[in-house]
Amino acid sequence: MGKVFLIGAGPGDPELMTLKAARALGSADVVLIDDLVSRGCLAHARSGAKVVEVGKRGGCKSTAQAFIEKLMIQYARAGNVVARLKGGDPFVFGRGGEEMAALLAEGIEVEVIPGVTAGLAAPATLGIPVTHRELARGVTFVTGHAKEGAEADWKALARSGTTLVIYMGLARLGHIVAALLEAGLPAETPACVIQDATLKSQRELVSTLGALSAQGFESPAIIVVGAVVARGRAQAKARGDRKAA
């Protein structure tokens, strides 16, 4: 029986993958790689490794989750070391928990290697601290695309006083904004959209909740709502002024 590593590849930039992730990837016979993982991460795979594309991207044709789990079990049973390379962190909206359960049920050894999740890395690229002693007592990660039409409790989230970091919400941004406004968040609440965080193709819109728009943006994108967004914008302006001077 082989072994499976559930590896978080980080938010995009291959240099943000951890050393432990790189070492595990280098030991793998088979690499199952998600669509959102930078192919630069494969520089750490050994030359003879079999690379299997198991794409998953919102709004596009995706590999069925059950099929991915079947592949991991099949390769591990054949005695292979398998690297399941996932964007961000495998346990943050990455179905890592489902995959671990499926593997353990088959008696297959699993090791989880955490990664830097986009919900932390994307705001950081703009100097946005998701927590701040004066502005946000916590941060809440939430998905804008729930299973089978389930809906986040936007009223509770609006009352939480925490920074909201929304994954997979771009396609429903209009609905999310309307729900948060109805829940009582002021339209002037600072907010932003960040696409392709940490990559050269990164784009962002720093605005307010009431003016936030998905126009011109594509997935993958992170949405951040809260007073800390304004702190990041001010710090970015200060850095720009110093460079200009």
Residues annotated as catalytic are 34, 56, 168
- With b for 16 or more beta-carbon neighbours within 10 A and e for fewer, the 31-66 pattern comes to bbbbebbbeebbebbeeebeebebebebeeeebeee
Structure tokens of 29? 């016979």
Cross-sheet strand order for the sheet of 139-143 = 139-143, 163-167, 221-225, 190-195, 203-208
Handedness of CA 204, 207, 209, 213 (dihedral sign): negative
Look at residues 196, 200, 198, 236 and name the one whose alpha carbon lies nearest to residue 217: 196
